[in-house]
Structure 1
Amino acid sequence: MMSNLFSVFDPSTSTLSLPLNWTSTFLGLMFIPTGMWLIPSRHSMTWNLLTTKLHNEFKTLLGKESKGSTFLFVSLFSLILFNNFLGLFPYIFTSTSHLIMTLTMALPLWVSFMMFGWINNTNHMFEHLVPQGTPTVLMPFMVCIETISNVIRPGTLAVRLTANMIAGHLLLTLLGNNGPTMAQSLIWVLIVAQILLLILESAVAVIQSYVFAVLTTLYSSEVN
């Protein structure tokens, strides 16, 4: 019995005084068959097709001078997708539902983009602060607005992923806790609702990892 609804998201939960929650980030490697790494199976062919499609899309967003940087964003997509799906298994800690994980991914990338842009393309970065066609009177306000929107980018990236992961898991937990108190005739309704929510969460896991990777790619393309 949970003492608190949010205890399932508590990263300090431990067993034998060992913080085991964060090990779920790497736990998925245990479930991948060894043959997947050695033989071109259907799993590896499907994954190669997906990463190739992502590589081509990110290359289009970054332009001709991407110089292999698409692999960084494909790896970022893979990491987030991997952890999002792991969180759908029972009793496995969802690391992407915590800001400490999502900010660790978003903040260093944004800082590196800003440092690269302001050091190498200073004039280009100043041009981004004032959109084309802005009246002279509104220019100071547009600089403030663009600066604020630029500064909060890593926060919005992290909060978006965290909120979407927590929302679905909380709904699944709330419905699941009502099972013992429900009438037997309504149990099947609850089971069907849980299955549908699980399918929805699977789609959210893919979509949110894709959105995070694409937005990071777009932020990178703006500093070139």
Structure 2
Amino acid sequence: MIKVLIVDDDFMVAKVHAGFIQRTPGFTVVGAAHTGARAVTETARLQPDLVLLDIHLPDANGLDLMHRLREVAPELDVLVISAAREVDTVRKALRGGIVHYLIKPFSQSDLQERLEHYRSAYQGLDASKDVAEQADVNRVFGLDGAAGKDGRPLPKGCSIETLKLVEAALKEADGDLSANEVAVQLGTSRVSARRYLEYLNDEGALEVRLKYGVGRPERRYLLKA
């Protein structure tokens, strides 16, 4: 489980982001801090794997704070979440070694996409092997150039490895599956699972069935013979 600390001066925004993270498989929120000083204290105490760091804090600039956080947690990764759009700010963040820069406001799916990329790329690089191949490094920097069926590029943030797992889940199923059922099997988010399923549907590999009930009909996917 990847431990996340949220650093944001707005209590309600931090709570919303915590909800997004808790709904992303493989991640857990271990705490929140609303000032730079508290962020340093909580990072030292909790030793999170990842900090969601706002730039505008009442007592510190988030980018200046990064090196202090890494002094108390040397293995810490940082994902910046901020309304700051200035090019110089983004450049400074990149030079500070962040894993991503997400501009507010953003949706749950926007954050989940970045978190899932972090989990598969950064965490996978740490755990998979002692020596990295170029493909491993490319995946970290989002340059894997993954292509699916007939060489068509996969949607942003998707990987050929996960696509194969989605196809395998469909092959092993007794019937059709929903995006939520695929997500549970693979340990990913429903949003991510649906992205792969819709890709396969666009490629003509799936049959989509609608299941009607209360509310909107549920899309269910069946692999064509």
Global fold match (TM > 0.5): no
**Greater relative CO (CA pairs within 8 A, separation 6+):** 1
By percentage of residues, which structure has more strand? 2
Name the larger-Rg structure. Answer: 1
By percentage of residues, which structure has more helix? 1
